[in-house]
Structure 1
Amino acid sequence: MFAYVARQPIFNVNREVYAYELLFRVGEDNCFPDIPPDEATSKILTSTHLSLGIEEITGDKKAFINFHRDTLMFRFPTSLDANKVVIEIVETVNVDDALVAACKHIRGLGYPIALDDYDMHGKWEAFMPFTSVVKIDITEIAHDKIPALVERFKANKMKLVAEKIETYEEFHKFKEMGFDYFQGYFLARPEIVRHRKLGPNNLTMLELLALSSEASLDLEKVKTIMERDPSLTYLLLRFINNPMVNKRHTINSLKHALNFMGEVEVKKFLSLLALANLSKGQPTELMQMALVRAKFCELAYLAVSKNKNSHTGFLAGLLSLLDAMMEQRIEDLVKKVPIDDDVKDALCGKPNLLRECLNLSQHFETARWAGIKQFAAKHKVNQALLHSYYNEAIKWAKHIHNAALDKD
């Protein structure tokens, strides 16, 4: 697996993940300072790390990857599977006939070409006959000029990505304009238009979430609640059957399952199960993001805190998107669940160590490398270790979501 990566989802019009843009750095010294971009990309692509790790990061989704001049000239993208990647030509490249010819050759081999941060500059005209995707930063081009661009690109059968979409209002606006895909932080921000009602099943989930937050878990109470609904027992058994949890043991009863897992893992399972049910009807990427944050905050919090209760960091990360899932203010939601005050404060944005871990997870999501460096320096933790935690969290979230939280 490669050390330094951030992934940013690209959504379709139904708010489903179409692809991930992957942003890389290589080596502890190269991760944070400014380095030649070609050097970073070439080191990744000439190693085995990317070819071994890309599917762990993106699952079955495409990977959008930035390429600079030298990597394109030397045909580095051709070391990747053309069915799994989209080659992004960054806006800073120096364009000449040789670069156009190289990109045209790469497209001829089956690799989709995307223009990153299209700026209406004339230098891009030569790429138009073989470009598949155009990405437009909505903060860089006047909005009244964009409809004409959409009409032109659509006429040439190109797909359009709107970048820097930060609100639902922007999402709807550019969806109506005809954009195909959307990139930005809008999905993680709640649309406080209506409040989702809490039905009987949701109240049961909140009851389980409250149990998972207690300092000492009452397994008998958990067993009683889960026996009300056979599907909960089924999901617990699927969770235990996940090879990341249990590789050898055969489970023969609900009581055996709970005792086998132990208090810490049962707490995690209850939290996951509750949030998965509470987030029904919302895009699955919200749950994926919450899972990644949960595992990452658990690992980061344990690394820098004297409090060795791993569930504290896990719960803070897991609930950090609850407002977007439930379409309610986080301050109102945390009043309904008796969770630890430190977790409540972190979720509501009050400064504490848990909040710093949540901010750190967002630094990874948005590739704010300087913020990661600052956290590492403040808490005297190795930067490479933090990146390994984030990679581990992505892989863990993928396995848990597929094996434990998907009923299909």
Structure 2
Amino acid sequence: MFAYIARQPIFDVNREVYAYELLFRDGEKNCFPDIPPDEATSKLLATSHLSLGLEEIVGDKLAFINFHRDTLMYRFPTSLDASQVVIEVLETVKVDQQLVSACKHLRGLGFKLALDDFDATDKWKPFLPFTSIVKFDITTMSDEEIEKRVPELKQQRIKLIAEKIETYSDFEKFKAMGFDYFQGYFLAYPQIVRHRALEASKVTLLELLTASASIKMDFDKVNAILERDVSLTYLLLRFINNPMFNKRNRISSLKHALTYMGEIEVKKFIALLALANLSEGKPSELMEMSLIRAKFCELVSLALDVKENPPTGFLTGLLSLLDALTEQPMEELMKKIPISEQVKDALCGRQNLLKDCLLMVKHFECANWAEIKKLSAKHKLKQTLLHAFYNESIKWGRSMRSCVNE
């Protein structure tokens, strides 16, 4: 069955997350698996197939889920919450009157239907009167052909998603064309502004990152940086008192935190504080992706017995989107933060163990199961362990992000 899940964000025109598409580990199909209809109960879906509850994976966002023909015919989605789930009808399904009737019935129960990889052929016409969303794969149709289809679908009040958006120019192009939502990793690639200097406040935050990445931390220097801005001290203490980490003791100062948590944990939270502030004004998904990557890389590096001060696995994941957050080239940023050479090499794309940790989490983001299998074999880690790490990282990332946004 599917205990293993990846998720891909779907953004609105403001680059904020509208929904997540959930991709299950089910062979090469990445869709809700064919299982006997008598197994399709709410209890089974909740406890056996979804290793995390939907709310833990997507929070208050919608979940787009791909379904096989048989699972639609047997009305499997009815075991899920219609207010949380969008049913994706795959382009590969055999379309006949029975399938149309099953989908119409599900729509009547309150589920939204989305047509995946829409190709505008006649077979989809019976679905359009009750379809809420249509998804276009921009790599399989020409811009001219897609643009031609937009007005007729808009006229039927159907929302449009552009898939495989990998650059900001693609995002702007399809936004201008009238698309409502966008799926792809364009946010993770920076719009580099090569000649723009970093603001003074961001330079201060890079100083904090430097402190968290040093072998021996200068707490007097950290205190001096924090004292310049009372809000930074407040945010740091809120981070450290987050119940996901610290459930028992209320920490009231940096010195208290050092005594209670130890230098490595304090360094991690200082790095989180700096990144949270660097991400101000950027899409919030960038921060959450950074947090998930940080936790995942930390867990993998610890499993591989990488025990270093500073926490190199954590920092590698956390800083992996720093170029997108600051709109500066990663190579130039690495000159401004004197972190370990292993972290620098990984972030700049040079091969080492930390780069493999980062590659693993990137493959999870894209549901590249074959590549995850290769890397798990290379490092002699069980795939089940990696999936457990990713699930734990999603939960931790969401919790930490909510702390940032409070």
TM-score by length of 1: 0.93
Shift of 1:253: 3.7
Counterpart for residue 84 of structure 1 = 84
TM-score by length of 2: 0.93
Q: Quick one: structure 1 residues 187 and 300, their matched pair in 2 at CA, closer, same or farther if it must change by over 3 Å?
A: same
CA contact (8 A) 2:294 2:316 kept: yes
Equivalent position SS for 1:19: strand
Which residue identity is paired with 1:339?
I
- Correspondence list, 1:381-400, <5 A: 381-400=381-400
CA contact (8 A) 1:195 1:327 kept: no
CA contact (8 A) 1:160 1:181 kept: yes
Which residue identity is paired with 2:46?
T
Shift of 1:218: 2.5
Equivalent position SS for 1:81: coil
Which residue identity is paired with 1:48?
A
CA contact (8 A) 1:113 1:131 kept: yes
Shift of 1:101: 0.3
Distance 2:305 2:100 in 1: 52
Distance 1:394 1:23 in 2: 14
Q: Quick one: structure 1 residues 53 and 78, their matched pair in 2 at CA, closer, same or farther if it must change by over 3 Å?
A: same
CA contact (8 A) 1:202 1:278 kept: yes
Counterpart for residue 53 of structure 1 = 53
Counterpart for residue 338 of structure 2 = 338
Q: Quick one: structure 1 residues 258 and 200, their matched pair in 2 at CA, closer, same or farther if it must change by over 3 Å?
A: farther
Which residue identity is paired with 2:172?
H
Counterpart for residue 364 of structure 2 = 364
Render the CA deviation track for 1:173-204: whole Å, top value 9, x for unaligned: 10010000000111111112465532232122
Counterpart for residue 96 of structure 1 = 96
Equivalent position SS for 1:47: helix
CA contact (8 A) 1:24 1:41 kept: no
Which residue identity is paired with 1:127?
F
Equivalent position SS for 1:38: coil
Distance 2:275 2:306 in 1: 27
- Correspondence list, 1:176-255, <5 A: 176-193=176-193, 196-255=196-255
CA contact (8 A) 1:62 1:85 kept: yes
Equivalent position SS for 2:34: helix
- Correspondence list, 1:109-148, <5 A: 109-148=109-148
Render the CA deviation track for 1:14-66: whole Å, top value 9, x for unaligned: 111100000012xxxxx556799632798797432339511111111111010
Distance 2:211 2:343 in 1: 15
Aligned residues: 400
Which residue identity is paired with 2:214?
E
CA contact (8 A) 2:32 2:66 kept: no
Structure 2: stretches of 5+ with no match in the other structure: none
Equivalent position SS for 2:381: coil
Distance 2:195 2:132 in 1: 40
Q: Quick one: structure 1 residues 206 and 81, their matched pair in 2 at CA, closer, same or farther if it must change by over 3 Å?
A: same
Distance 1:299 1:310 in 2: 15
Q: Quick one: structure 1 residues 230 and 203, their matched pair in 2 at CA, closer, same or farther if it must change by over 3 Å?
A: same
Shift of 1:310: 7.2
The yes-or-no answer on 1:152 pairing with 2:147 is no
Q: Quick one: structure 1 residues 35 and 343, their matched pair in 2 at CA, closer, same or farther if it must change by over 3 Å?
A: closer
Which residue identity is paired with 1:98?
Q
Which residue identity is paired with 2:375?
F
Equivalent position SS for 1:39: coil
Q: Quick one: structure 1 residues 254 and 378, their matched pair in 2 at CA, closer, same or farther if it must change by over 3 Å?
A: closer
Q: Quick one: structure 1 residues 196 and 243, their matched pair in 2 at CA, closer, same or farther if it must change by over 3 Å?
A: farther
RMSD between aligned alpha carbons? 2.1
Between the two structures, name the one with larger relative contact order (CA 8 Å, sep ≥ 6): 1
Distance 1:24 1:259 in 2: 43
Distance 1:211 1:254 in 2: 13
CA contact (8 A) 1:41 1:67 kept: no
Shift of 1:281: 1.6
CA contact (8 A) 1:288 1:398 kept: yes
Q: Say which is worse superposed, 283-292 or 248-257, in terms of deviation.
A: 248-257
Distance 1:122 1:241 in 2: 57
Counterpart for residue 28 of structure 1 = none
Equivalent position SS for 2:249: coil
Distance 2:343 2:52 in 1: 36
Distance 2:291 2:164 in 1: 23
Q: Quick one: structure 1 residues 41 and 215, their matched pair in 2 at CA, closer, same or farther if it must change by over 3 Å?
A: farther
CA contact (8 A) 2:24 2:32 kept: no
Distance 1:239 1:246 in 2: 9
Render the CA deviation track for 1:188-230: whole Å, top value 9, x for unaligned: 1111246553223212211111010111223333223222322
